[in-house]
Amino acid sequence: MKVKFYFEELAYIFKKSISDFVFLSVVYFLTLLIFSSLIQFYAYLSRLQGESFKVSFMKVFFEDDADPKVIEAIRAYTEPLPVVDKVVYVSKEMAKVEFAERFPKYSGLLSIFQESPFPQNIEIRFNRKALGNDLIEKLTEFYSRFPAVSNVQHNYSSALKIYKLRKSLFLIGLWLFVTFLIFYIPLNLSFMRSIFNRERKLFDLVEYLGYEKKGLEITFVVASSMPLVIVSLFILVVFNLVSEVLHIPLFPIYLILLFFLLLQVIFSIDVLEK
Amino acid sequence: MADKVEFENVSVKFNERWYALNNVSFSVKKGDFVFFVGPTGAGKTTILRLIYGDIFPSEGEVRVDGFPLKKISKSKLLELRRGMGIVFQDLMLLDDRTVFENLALPVRLKGDEDVMRKVVLALKEVGLTHKSNDLASSLSRGEQQRLALARAMINEPDLLLADEPFSNLHMNDIDWLIEKMKAYNELGVTILLSTHNMEVLAKVPKARIFRIEEGRIKIES
């Protein structure tokens, strides 16, 4: 048997089942578009969360006359916490320098003060584990209750909001994905069966005529996967542009495309086996 | 030289109680013209299916060109099938393809480049040239039978198996088919066909006739 035969049969399968393939292509396109968009949006939120997290910290401000032992005790308690990355004690003088560095435009204002007007504090930088379970809020309340602490402030609010949005998006995406698969699997299998049934006699006949049907089976798998491959390539091109613009990785898109391609090959083989 | 087809104490059991064939032995030499006759369900189709290796005997041995079908590899079985032309009881035509495409299939599978010439010749031989572009499903039963015969013979096999090729045909079509098969046989093709139409037997005086009843060969003449 020659390769030419398989190509001709491939074309024949498409010609005969063109309406099925067109319908499946639309289903593939919408499926991949929706899930790729969700994934890219999730990746974008991850990027935003990361950026916001990088510049976020908590400040525990102390009274001027706070006992250094209390400050040290709070620092020593905080440092080994698993959600904490780094703890730095900032004296009044260091706070003044810090202000000048962070707000150089207003550093001239500081000249009117003999002494540093800023309170001593400890600066806490959390790791990502701190985003869950309202830990940052709980710690804020915890530090506020110390008598030597005058104020506790943090700028994790944006990171926390993005984190919550990301978490919700993940759950919605997962729910959508599972619900979708419940409909997608039988629908796709049914179309595959109907395409295969049109070829069933040919498969049997080929063996009766004395030739292996393996090549024809591979042709069927290729034919049934081809619309998805074409749609996948299109999606890949579109989302490659999106990922370049939003500076997000394309890797998850590859995963979702590979997942659906694998599913398609499994469906085709399952239809052939049965 | 090995016989073309040999059955040695062949039994086929489809279930514990029922033998489709029961201890059948016979041999067919190259160039023989053989009829398997008998009522429906006697085991005629089973014999043909055993020859092209669609089923295997529960007991005994079937040999084609000296090769025991039960013991050979699948690729060898396929090679033996390539030397056979088969006209199936249900014809197995590809209904949604044209007459031309149906005939071209075995030639394309073989990898023969000269598809057009072979198909045109075959169409001419069975008188279906004018139906070349018609769908196989649109042909009359007689025309379909001709097409099935042409497809079986297009790669010039030396063994033709035909399962009930005369059923539901007009006498003219039956005569045409018989004459065609006799012509192939004259060219050296071994022909084995099953039928329950006893009238056709007289049309091939040289034919060997096996009468099958309840899975056994009752009469050989």
Shared domain for B99 and B142, answered yes or no, is yes
Q: Determine, yes or no, domain membership for B137.
A: yes
* Alpha-carbon gap, residue A78 to B96, rounded angstroms: 78
Give tens-digit pLDDT for A90-142: 998 899 888 888 888 887 888 888 788 889 999 999 998 888 878 899 999 99
**Nearest residue of A to residue B74, measured between CA atoms:** A212
Q: Does residue A208 belong to the interface with chain B, where contact is any CB pair within 8 Å?
A: yes
Rounded alpha-carbon distances, angstroms, from residue A225 to A78, A189, A222, B103, B172: 56, 12, 5, 29, 49
pLDDT of res. A49: 92
Shared domain for A44 and A168, answered yes or no, is yes
Shared domain for A169 and A70, answered yes or no, is no
Residues in chain B closer than 8 A to A16 (CB atoms): 96
Shared domain for A185 and A216, answered yes or no, is yes
Check: CB of residue B149 under 8 Å from CB of residue B86.
no
Residues in chain B closer than 8 A to A195 (CB atoms): none
Shared domain for B183 and B105, answered yes or no, is no
Token duo for residue B221 = 């003449």
Segment A59-86 shows an average pLDDT of: 92
pLDDT of res. B69: 93
Cβ <8 Å between B80 and A211: no
Q: Determine, yes or no, domain membership for B53.
A: yes
Shared domain for A149 and A236, answered yes or no, is no
Cβ <8 Å between B92 and A202: no
CA-wise closest residue to A33 among A273, A200, A256, A227 = A256
Segment A35-40 shows an average pLDDT of: 92
Interface of B with A in 84-143 (CB under 8 A): 84, 86, 88, 92, 94-96, 105-106, 108-111
Considering A102, A131, A154, which residue would you say is the last residue of a domain? Answer: A154
pLDDT bucket at A78, cuts 50 / 70 / 90: very high
Q: Does residue A80 belong to the interface with chain B, where contact is any CB pair within 8 Å?
A: no
pLDDT at position A202 over 70: yes
The total number of structural domains in chain B stands at 2
Considering A154, A173, A205, which residue would you say is the last residue of a domain? Answer: A154
Shared domain for B12 and B60, answered yes or no, is yes
Shared domain for B65 and B172, answered yes or no, is yes
pLDDT bucket at A272, cuts 50 / 70 / 90: confident
pLDDT of res. B2: 61
pLDDT of res. A199: 86
CATH no. for residue B21?
3.40.50.300
pLDDT at position A20 over 80: yes
Q: Does residue A210 belong to the interface with chain B, where contact is any CB pair within 8 Å?
A: yes
Shared domain for B218 and B115, answered yes or no, is no
pLDDT bucket at A35, cuts 50 / 70 / 90: very high
pLDDT of res. A174: 94
Shared domain for B139 and B167, answered yes or no, is no
Cβ <8 Å between B82 and A207: no
ipTM: 0.91
Shared domain for A35 and A101, answered yes or no, is no
Q: Which of A1, A201, A208 sits opposite B94 (nearest CB)?
A: A201
Shared domain for A71 and A145, answered yes or no, is yes
Domain containing B215: what range?
1-83+158-221
Q: Which residues of chain B have pLDDT under 70?
A: 1-2, 220-221
CA-wise closest residue to A75 among A90, A84, A92, A87 = A87
* Alpha-carbon gap, residue A99 to A91, rounded angstroms: 12
Cβ <8 Å between A211 and B84: no
Shared domain for B205 and B118, answered yes or no, is no
Domain containing A85: what range?
57-154
* Alpha-carbon gap, residue B214 to B216, rounded angstroms: 6
Shared domain for B150 and B101, answered yes or no, is yes
Look at residue B33 and give its three-state secondary structure: strand
Give tens-digit pLDDT for A207-221: 999 999 888 999 998
Residues in chain A closer than 8 A to B108 (CB atoms): 2, 4-5, 8
The total number of structural domains in chain A stands at 2
Cβ <8 Å between B52 and A208: yes
Distance from CA of B21 to the nearest CA of A (A): 22
Considering B134, B156, B178, which residue would you say is the last residue of a domain? Answer: B156
Q: Determine, yes or no, domain membership for B88.
A: no
Give tens-digit pLDDT for A136-195: 999 999 999 988 899 999 999 999 999 999 999 999 999 999 999 999 999 989 998 998
Check: CB of residue A92 under 8 Å from CB of residue A120.
yes
CATH no. for residue A150?
3.30.70.3040
